[in-house]
Chain A
Amino acid sequence: MSSTIFYRFRSQKDTGRIMFDGTGLTVFDLKREIIQENKLGDGTDFQIRIYNPDTNEEYEDDSHVIPRSSSVLVRRSPAIKQFSAHGMHRNTGAVGNATRYVTGKPRVFQKKQ
């Protein structure tokens, strides 16, 4: 049996849906699906964020699971360019764009101490 998560871009009237098998999708997989479904590109020039439409809370943790039949709000924003000359941010996973969802390498979420 196939499951569904509903999503709507903040600026759009219509709602889209992602179909999958199982009881839920991780934030990572959901973002990846939305990017692919809408052909948003290779991820270098934008970032994508998803929110709980009721609380407006952002789902920041890539490993968080969104249960099936949920609705989410999607926001496509410009990538945050890294100006660090030393490439300091390159390995920390803090890059402000959506490439990791396209290449398929999830970032390990760092819990705040």
Chain B
Amino acid sequence: MMETSGKNSLRFFALGGGNEVGRSCHILQFKGKTIMLDAGVHPAYQGYASLPFYDEFDLSTIDVLLISHFHVDHAASLPYVMQKTNFQGRVFMTHPTKAIYRWLLRDFVRVTSIGSSSGGQDDNLYTDEDLADSFDKIETIDYHSTVDINGIKFTAFHAGHVLGAAMFQIEIAGVRVLFTGDYSRELDRHLNSAEVPPLPSDVLIVESTFGTATHEPRANRERKLTQLIHSTVSRGGRVLLPVFALGRAQEIMLILDEYWSQHAEELGGGQVPIYYASNLAKRCMSVFQTYVNMMNDDIRKKFRDSQTNPFIFKNISYLKNIDEFQDFGPSVMLASPGMLQSGLSRDILERWCPEAKNLVLITGYSVEGTMAKFLMLEPDTIPSISNAEATIPRRCQIEEISFAAHVDFQENLEFIEKISAPNIILVHGESNPMGRLKSALLSNFASLKGTEGEVHVFNPRNCIDVILEFKGVKIAKAVGN
């Protein structure tokens, strides 16, 4: 079932993340070496339905699996691959990714098992034991260090996006492929922005989440965020920020903690609490506290100068579960999961959404098919998760201000031009934005058409090959289908 391509052809094959956001998983084959990039799940689905199309590839042939970052759409099927399939390769990720991965996926196992109690059958993809067993076998790589496994060389670079996120530049027989994973070029409060590797790349596999869209400047978004929250609590409303427990949530907390300190008086001097509700909040925050040295200069300097950890927040308290929450007045609640499928954020949504003075503020990227995406349509009612028969009126305000830390068009184009790879493969985007990005890139590089420097852009669907022909290091021709 698997075509073996010619000796000098490089094959790219998406088992997931092709023309979709979710279940990222890509295969690279060149000179008899096989690499897998990421092993995610699709957040809009559960159980087996959420997996990449693993039946379409012989996983036993994979030499190396590289995980770009800890988000579920990139890492959550890793324990499944390592424990339930005949995969025998070696797995690499950065230290912070590994540290967070463990806690995060435990939470994932729990959340998915709660959501599936109906049929009686356990549709967890893996157990806590599988997770622990896989954890022990994962190897780590430092930023800017290169690992060589039987002729597959790979180097990790900062990707921005979330703590521990890496881009990988892979080199086999002189041909270099750069995989961005999810990446950000914006300097934020705690992370470095994505780096341009010093060596050139022949192939660039790049995310296309935002397609040709443009982000508003960072300062505007911060101002909007804090003003919206401030005005909602001032008129007695409650604010729900559904967040992924780790990653961008910490950036939002840095913003809110500072704002609350600066506006303590107007906010009634501690009368309006901010909660961070996540079962793993405390444990994972210690990871953030540990890895301050891998963040940007600004936050490292703060850490050194003030002798206090910037992730020990003055104005934010932890909430383990909803039972210990005293819901008496205006408050701000950061709760996971970020797309409101089930769990804490969903419970709070169902409690707060009937009231017009309340606000749901979406700051992350919302995948097609999730409650977060549905809310954006401002529906009159939403289905209740505890009672399948019931619907709940939705009168609360819905706003979206993105702090998702993916590049916008301008940032992506600038980066793509800096890499100047002759072959560009677009992944991690819904079909339409990805298609628009492809057209925009082709017209941007139109003047090179027919020359030595011609740029080829591919936007393959899942399980559709891209074959690139190389002669030594020199590119002969590119064929896609």
Min C-beta distance of B26 to chain A, whole Å: 14
Q: By the criterion CB–CB under 8 Å, are A38 and B55 in contact?
A: no
The residues of A that contact B55 with a CB separation of less than 8 Å are: 9-11, 74-77
Task: Judge whether B56 is part of the interface by a CB distance below 8 angstroms.
Answer: yes
Q: In the complex, which residue of chain B has the Cβ closest to the Cβ of A75?
A: B55
Min C-beta distance of A60 to chain B, whole Å: 15
Q: By the criterion CB–CB under 8 Å, are B86 and A39 in contact?
A: no
Task: Judge whether A12 is part of the interface by a CB distance below 8 angstroms.
Answer: yes
Task: Judge whether B449 is part of the interface by a CB distance below 8 angstroms.
Answer: no
Within A15-31, which residues are at the interface with B (CB < 8 Å)?
none
Q: By the criterion CB–CB under 8 Å, are B53 and A76 in contact?
A: yes
Q: By the criterion CB–CB under 8 Å, are B85 and A41 in contact?
A: no
Q: By the criterion CB–CB under 8 Å, are A12 and B85 in contact?
A: yes
Given A76-B53, A77-B53, A78-B462, decide whether A38 and B47 contact each other with a Cβ distance below 8 A.
yes
Within B9-68, which residues are at the interface with A (CB < 8 Å)?
45-49, 53-57, 59
Q: By the criterion CB–CB under 8 Å, are A78 and B119 in contact?
A: no
Min C-beta distance of B177 to chain A, whole Å: 23
The residues of A that contact B53 with a CB separation of less than 8 Å are: 46, 76-78
Mask of A24-53 contacts with B, CB within 8 angstroms, 1/0: 000000000000011111000010000000
Bound CA–CA A10/B85 (angstroms): 9
Task: Judge whether A90 is part of the interface by a CB distance below 8 angstroms.
Answer: no
The residues of A that contact B86 with a CB separation of less than 8 Å are: 11, 13
Mask of A56-82 contacts with B, CB within 8 angstroms, 1/0: 000000000000000000111110010
Q: By the criterion CB–CB under 8 Å, are A11 and B59 in contact?
A: yes
Min C-beta distance of A76 to chain B, whole Å: 5
Number of interface residues of A (CB under 8 A): 18
Q: Which of A11, A37, A38, A81 contacts B85 (CB 8 A)?
A: A11
Bound CA–CA A38/B48 (angstroms): 7
Q: Which of B59, B84, B85, B123 contacts A39 (CB 8 A)?
A: B123
Q: In the complex, which residue of chain A has the Cβ closest to the Cβ of B118?
A: A39
Bound CA–CA A9/B45 (angstroms): 19
Given A39-B46, A39-B49, A77-B463, decide whether A14 and B84 contact each other with a Cβ distance below 8 A.
yes
Q: By the criterion CB–CB under 8 Å, are A13 and B462 in contact?
A: no
Bound CA–CA A39/B119 (angstroms): 9
Bound CA–CA A37/B84 (angstroms): 17
Q: By the criterion CB–CB under 8 Å, are B463 and A76 in contact?
A: no
The residues of A that contact B56 with a CB separation of less than 8 Å are: 75, 77-78
Q: By the criterion CB–CB under 8 Å, are A78 and B463 in contact?
A: yes
The residues of A that contact B185 with a CB separation of less than 8 Å are: none
- 18 A-B Cβ contacts within 8 A? A9-B54, A11-B55, A11-B59, A11-B86, A12-B85, A13-B84, A38-B123, A39-B46, A40-B48, A77-B53, A77-B55, A77-B56, A77-B463, A78-B53, A78-B461, A78-B462, A78-B463, A81-B461
Excluding A78-B53, A78-B463, 19 further A-B contacts by CB distance (< 8 Å) are: A9-B54, A10-B54, A10-B55, A11-B85, A12-B84, A12-B85, A13-B84, A13-B86, A38-B47, A39-B46, A39-B48, A39-B116, A39-B119, A39-B121, A39-B123, A46-B49, A74-B55, A75-B55, A75-B56
Residues of B bordering A, CB below 8 Å: 45-49, 53-57, 59, 84-86, 116, 119, 121, 123, 461-463
